[in-house]
């Protein structure tokens, strides 16, 4: 058994940031990161840029092996934590190794939610989470003409732009819900986003649920008894397992050469079931990112933390939040009492469009939602307002195709500005949101 002062499970944004901060406060302590990845830290945020061929593979990586050596941080790659014994302060890993820790940070991120329909194990069906996923999307995308994307969210946008950048001509997105990104946007905002996709020759079909995947037609024929001599010249045996058709509940069939699936992520917490940790859609923490178990902290996608800005428990799944939480968790692990207090935001582009999410964007959390912009104008901002401690505050916003509005809204949220005197003007596009900051 290895003894370590600070043990971190997860080597991405939250975990690696935490290790670096711990080293600053404790130059002589032992720090170990355990990751199920086979690489040093790389940026999931940069993966779409890599797939779009805007940056090189090397540029995706944020840390080299020498960085860990210079910081005296032990990195154990390619294994998973399998059991936590909080009484003994011991983590047991899948490779048989066990670690006795002083302080533990769980920063495991999330795993992709997989489709379990018939044919889901066929080749050329991809998820988009790892650098290996990016490698395969580039390789297969560059050899494909037709793509089908399953799911309506940010990963689907990354698939669409990535496939197109690698030469895929026909792209169809299948969305089970009544409109694109229905859990994040209203119908008007969604329509604007969908218009951007359709303007770039990406077809979006809503109300279509995938029920199975099938082999290509000629592969089915081969499986039914055609001899190998009838294979087209250049077709290899390994191609016989490639997806060729997506079948939906409505009975429609969509031919394809490649499929991208983006239906969400979920942290795997099953190995912690007997640990005594409190769960509620994530590992529950306080504002210091402490769990209910002594000397155990959580950060990043897997943490359901107490948000002091909005006085609520929630999870936030983005890189900036994970990095910030890793920093704060590390300080608290080192005895520097620090509240995690930030208004999370996330922005990205797709083709000629853009989107941003700021703060809490749940209609049932807000008292009212004010919209500015329209489908006709091609841009829409929704502002979520809630009265908290006697103050009318903006607690969140969604912004489609109007990036200039992101900065003033983010500042307003972070600074808890009372916007009561501006509220009746917010829906007016002529009103400059920067006036709220004066």
Phi-psi label, residue 367: left if phi above 0, alpha if psi -120 to 50, beta otherwise: alpha
Q: Which of 50-54, 114-118, 184-188, 307-311 has the lowest mean pLDDT?
A: 307-311
Query: Can you give the pLDDT at residue 228?
Result: 42
Q: Which has the higher per-residue pLDDT, 224 or 344?
A: 344
Pairwise CA distance, residues 155 & 153, whole Å: 6
Selected from 3.90.1150.10, 3.50.50.60, 1.20.1440.130, 2.60.40.10, the CATH number assigned to the domain covering 2-110+279-333 reads 3.50.50.60
Query: Can you give the pLDDT at residue 343?
Result: 84
CATH topology (fold) of 125-261: FAD/NAD(P)-binding domain (3.50.50)
Helix axes of 131-141 and 154-165: crossing angle, nearest 10 degrees = 40
Tell me the mean pLDDT in the region 83-105: 97
224 — pLDDT class (breaks 50, 70, 90): low
Query: Can you give the pLDDT at residue 220?
Result: 54
Q: pLDDT tens for residues 352-373? A: 999 999 999 999 999 999 999 9
Task: Give yes or no for a contact between 380 and 400, defined as CB atoms under 8 angstroms apart.
Answer: yes
234 — pLDDT class (breaks 50, 70, 90): very low
Tell me the mean pLDDT in the region 71-86: 97
Query: Can you give the pLDDT at residue 416?
Result: 93
Pairwise CA distance, residues 108 & 93, whole Å: 14
Across-strand partners of 383? 370, 397
Architecture of the structural domain at 353-433: 2-Layer Sandwich (3.30)
Alpha helices in 29-108 (DSSP H): 47-51, 57-60, 65-71
Pairwise CA distance, residues 201 & 120, whole Å: 26
pLDDT at residue 284 greater than cutoff 50: yes
Q: pLDDT tens for residues 185-216? A: 999 999 999 999 999 999 999 999 999 999 98
Tell me the mean pLDDT in the region 266-291: 96
Task: Give yes or no for a contact between 51 and 162, defined as CB atoms under 8 angstroms apart.
Answer: yes
Q: Which of 37-46, 225-234, 249-258, 287-296 has the lowest mean pLDDT?
A: 225-234
User: For residue 423, what are its two tokens?
Assistant: 């509220």
Task: Give yes or no for a contact between 381 and 410, defined as CB atoms under 8 angstroms apart.
Answer: no
Tell me the mean pLDDT in the region 146-151: 98
Pairwise CA distance, residues 242 & 123, whole Å: 5
pLDDT at residue 304 greater than cutoff 70: yes
Please give the backbone phi and psi of residue 305, each rounded to the nearest 5 degrees, phi first.
-100, 160
CATH 3.50.50.60 occupies which residues in the chain? Answer: 2-110+279-333, 125-261
Task: Give yes or no for a contact between 174 and 186, defined as CB atoms under 8 angstroms apart.
Answer: no
Share the mean pLDDT of the chain: 94
Query: Can you give the pLDDT at residue 17?
Result: 98
Length in residues, the chain:
438
User: What percent of the chain is modeled with pLDDT above 70?
Assistant: 95
User: For residue 312, what are its two tokens?
Assistant: 């609520």
Query: Can you give the pLDDT at residue 370?
Result: 98
390 — pLDDT class (breaks 50, 70, 90): very high
438 — pLDDT class (breaks 50, 70, 90): confident
Query: Can you give the pLDDT at residue 237?
Result: 46
317 — pLDDT class (breaks 50, 70, 90): confident
pLDDT at residue 219 greater than cutoff 80: no
Tell me the mean pLDDT in the region 425-432: 96
CATH 3.30.390.30 occupies which residues in the chain? Answer: 353-433
Q: pLDDT tens for residues 340-352? A: 998 888 999 999 9
Tell me, rounded to whole angstroms, the distance of Cα 112 from its chain centroid: 9
Query: Can you give the pLDDT at residue 333?
Result: 98
For residue 95, the 8-state DSSP code is T
Pairwise CA distance, residues 5 & 104, whole Å: 9
Query: Can you give the pLDDT at residue 240?
Result: 66
Query: Can you give the pLDDT at residue 236?
Result: 46
Tell me the mean pLDDT in the region 267-293: 96
Query: Can you give the pLDDT at residue 342?
Result: 87
């Amino acid at each position: 058994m290895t003894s370590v002062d600070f043990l971190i499970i997860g080597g991405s944004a939250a975990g690696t940031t935490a290790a670096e901060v711990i080293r600053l406060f404790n130059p002589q302590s032992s720090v170990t990161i355990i990751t199920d990845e086979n690489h040093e830290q790389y940026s999931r945020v940069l993966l779409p840029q890599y797939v779009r061929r805007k940056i090189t593979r090397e540029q995706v990586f944020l840390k080299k092996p020498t960085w860990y050596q210079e910081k005296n941080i032990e990195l154990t790659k390619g294994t998973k934590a399998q059991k936590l014994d909080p009484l003994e302060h011991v983590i047991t890993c899948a490779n048989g190794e066990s670690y006795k820790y002083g302080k533990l940070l769980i920063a495991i991120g999330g795993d992709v939610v997989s489709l379990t329909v018939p044919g889901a194990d066929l080749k050329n069906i991809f998820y988009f989470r790892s650098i290996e996923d990016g490698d395969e999307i580039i390789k297969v995308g560059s050899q494909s003409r037709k793509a089908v994307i399953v799911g309506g969210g940010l990963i689907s946008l990354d698939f669409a732009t990535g496939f197109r950048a690698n030469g895929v001509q026909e792209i169809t997105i299948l969305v089970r819900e009544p409109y694109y990104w229905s859990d994040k946007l209203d119908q008007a905002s969604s329509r604007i986003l969908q218009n951007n996709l359709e303007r770039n020759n990406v077809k979006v079909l809503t109300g279509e649920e995938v029920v199975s995947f099938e082999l290509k037609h000629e592969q089915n024929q081969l499986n039914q008894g055609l001899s190998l001599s009838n294979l087209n010249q250049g077709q290899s045996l390994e191609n016989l397992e490639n997806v060729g058709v997506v079948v939906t509940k409505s009975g429609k069939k969509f031919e394809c050469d490649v499929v991208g699936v983006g239906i969400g992520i979920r942290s795997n917490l099953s190995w912690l079931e007997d640990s005594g940790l409190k769960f509620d859609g994530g590992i529950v923490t306080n504002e210091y990112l402490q769990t209910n178990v002594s000397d155990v902290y959580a950060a990043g996608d897997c943490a359901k933390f107490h948000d002091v800005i909005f006085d609520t428990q929630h999870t936030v799944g983005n890189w900036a939040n994970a990095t910030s939480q890793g920093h704060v968790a590390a300080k608290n692990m080192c005895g520097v009492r620090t509240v995690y207090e930030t208004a999370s935001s996330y922005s990205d582009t797709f083709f000629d469009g853009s989107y941003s999410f700021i703060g809490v964007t749940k209609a049932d959390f807000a008292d009212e939602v004010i919209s500015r912009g329209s489908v006709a104008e091609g841009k829409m901002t929704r502002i979520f307002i809630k009265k908290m401690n006697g103050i009318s505050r903006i607690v969140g916003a969604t912004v489609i195709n109007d990036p200039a509005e992101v900065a003033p809204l983010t500042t307003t949220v972070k600074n808890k500005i009372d916007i009561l005197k501006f509220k009746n003007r917010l829906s007016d596009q002529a009103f400059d949101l920067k006036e709220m900051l004066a």
